[in-house]
């Protein structure tokens, strides 16, 4: 059998399969009739042709995609530019650039943080009565331990077992020693409880001072607005610290200045002393100036500008009046 005949047999088998699927029993009856090669090829061409038409009838998905219009392109470009646009914000004294997406994420985080802070504040408010009761109980326990521990220590000093009882009355020695060891264990437990209460008290004090420091700093920035600039705040705080140190305050005393009112008063006192120092320097310069020689007939009249300036400086004693007096003598 040559290749051509093999292909014809293959086509004939394909044709039989296609006819059986379309015609059912009728096709099975017709399949028994012999067909020549021309009939097979003709039928096969029809089947292949139908398949080609069916394939042509299907729409190409890529062909259905249309190019975006100019308006859609402009809208997409505007959206991309808006997304890439950056905004300048000053955070902690440093200016930075943020995109719109970054600002949205930051706002969402800020809202979430604010909500968590609010929930924590509500929980703390609800737990405040229980915390107050616990503090009161700890305070009462601490006072009781302050009385109980010295009493136990005195009992241990006078209640030690007599060593002579070891030979004369071993049972009595064991009884006394057992009672003594029980008191020693009670003393150790009491001292451990006292140390734990002290540790908790110190921890709460530290937390309270930290919270107060944050609150007082906020009030301080409201009282001295120029200190909201970190650089000016550092320079001003260093100046006040130096002023207090010169005034006799120790570093430990300055470290306990939590009240913002004391810092504000110290700042005002420093500025006042600086102004008095400048005024004294101006007065010294005025005193060192030589007297002005007037020409005959041009005596100093009561309404003369220099005389008035000197009178103003004598009455006010400010830096500005002293400067005005100096300028009138130049």
Tokens 């610290």 identify what position? Answer: 241
In this prediction, residue 41 carries a pLDDT of 53
**Helix or strand run (H / E) with residue 98:** strand 94-99
- Predicted confidence (pLDDT) per residue in 205-225, tens digit: 888 888 888 899 899 999 999
Burial of 309 (0-12, 13-18, 19+ CB in 10 A): buried
Cα 323 to chain center, whole Å? 49
In this prediction, residue 226 carries a pLDDT of 92
Round to whole Å and give the CA distance between 280 and 157: 71
- Predicted confidence (pLDDT) per residue in 73-127, tens digit: 777 777 676 666 676 777 666 777 777 777 777 777 877 877 887 777 787 777 7
Q: Are 236 and 224 in contact (CB under 8 A)?
A: yes
pLDDT band at 142 (very low <50, low <70, confident <90, very high): confident
In this prediction, residue 21 carries a pLDDT of 47
* pLDDT higher than 50, residue 292: yes
Residue bearing the bigger pLDDT, 329 or 57: 329
Structure tokens that stand for 231 in this block: 């650089």
Closest CA to 313 of 292, 287, 291, 294: 287
**Overall average pLDDT of the 219-246 stretch:** 91
CA dihedral of 265, 270, 272, 276, whole degrees rounded to 10: 160
Least reliable range by pLDDT among 162-171, 242-251, 278-287, 314-323: 314-323
Closest CA to 236 of 227, 244, 245: 227
CB crowding 51-70: b at 16 or more within 10 Å, else e: eeeeeeeeeeeeeeeeeeee
**Overall average pLDDT of the 6-25 stretch:** 53
In this prediction, residue 141 carries a pLDDT of 87
Round to whole Å and give the CA distance between 137 and 132: 9
> What CA–CA distances, in Å, run from 168 to 159, 171, 176, 309?
18, 9, 14, 107
- Predicted confidence (pLDDT) per residue in 30-55, tens digit: 444 444 555 545 554 554 454 444 44
Structure tokens that stand for 109 in this block: 């985080």
Round to whole Å and give the CA distance between 54 and 163: 118
Most confident of 75-89, 249-263, 309-323: 249-263
In this prediction, residue 92 carries a pLDDT of 65
Question: What predicted TM-score, i.e. pTM, was given to this entire model?
Answer: 0.41
> What CA–CA distances, in Å, run from 105 to 96, 108, 112, 113, 314?
16, 5, 11, 12, 63
In this prediction, residue 231 carries a pLDDT of 92
Domain range summary for the chain, segments of one domain joined by +: 133-220, 224-290+304-329
In this prediction, residue 325 carries a pLDDT of 62
Task: Report the mean per-residue pLDDT for the chain.
Answer: 75
* pLDDT higher than 70, residue 182: yes
In this prediction, residue 270 carries a pLDDT of 92
């Amino acid at each position: 059998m040559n290749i051509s005949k093999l292909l014809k047999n293959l086509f004939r088998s394909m044709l039989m399969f296609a006819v059986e699927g379309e015609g059912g029993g009728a096709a099975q009856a017709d399949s028994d009739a012999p067909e020549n090669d021309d009939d097979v090829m003709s039928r096969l061409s029809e089947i292949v042709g139908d398949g080609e038409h069916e394939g042509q009838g299907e729409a190409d998905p890529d062909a259905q995609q249309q190019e975006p219009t100019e308006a859609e392109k402009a809208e997409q470009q505007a959206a991309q530019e808006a997304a890439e646009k950056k905004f300048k914000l000053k955070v902690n004294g440093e200016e930075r650039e943020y995109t719109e997406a970054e600002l949205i994420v930051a706002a969402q985080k800020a809202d979430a943080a604010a909500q968590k802070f609010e929930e924590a504040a509500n929980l703390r408010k609800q737990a405040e009565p229980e915390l107050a009761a616990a503090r009161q109980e700890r305070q009462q326990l601490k006072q009781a331990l302050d009385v109980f521990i010295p009493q136990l220590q005195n009992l241990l000093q006078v209640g030690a077992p007599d060593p002579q009882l070891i030979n004369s009355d071993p049972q009595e020695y064991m009884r006394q020693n057992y009672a003594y060891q029980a008191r020693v264990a009670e003393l150790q437990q009491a001292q451990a409880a006292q140390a734990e209460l002290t540790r908790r008290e110190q921890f709460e004090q530290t937390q309270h001072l930290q919270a107060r420091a944050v609150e007082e700093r906020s009030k301080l920035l409201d009282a001295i607005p120029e200190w909201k600039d970190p650089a000016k705040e550092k320079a001003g705080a260093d100046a006040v610290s130096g002023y207090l140190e010169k005034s006799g305050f120790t570093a430990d005393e300055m470290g306990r200045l939590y009240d913002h009112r004391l810092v504000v008063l110290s700042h005002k006192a420093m500025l006042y002393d600086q102004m008095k120092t400048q005024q004294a320097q101006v007065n010294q310069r005025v005193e060192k100036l030589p007297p002005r020689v007037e020409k005959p007939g041009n005596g100093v009249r009561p309404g003369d500008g220099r005389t008035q300036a000197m009178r103003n400086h004598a009455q006010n004693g400010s830096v500005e009046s002293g400067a005005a007096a100096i300028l009138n003598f130049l």
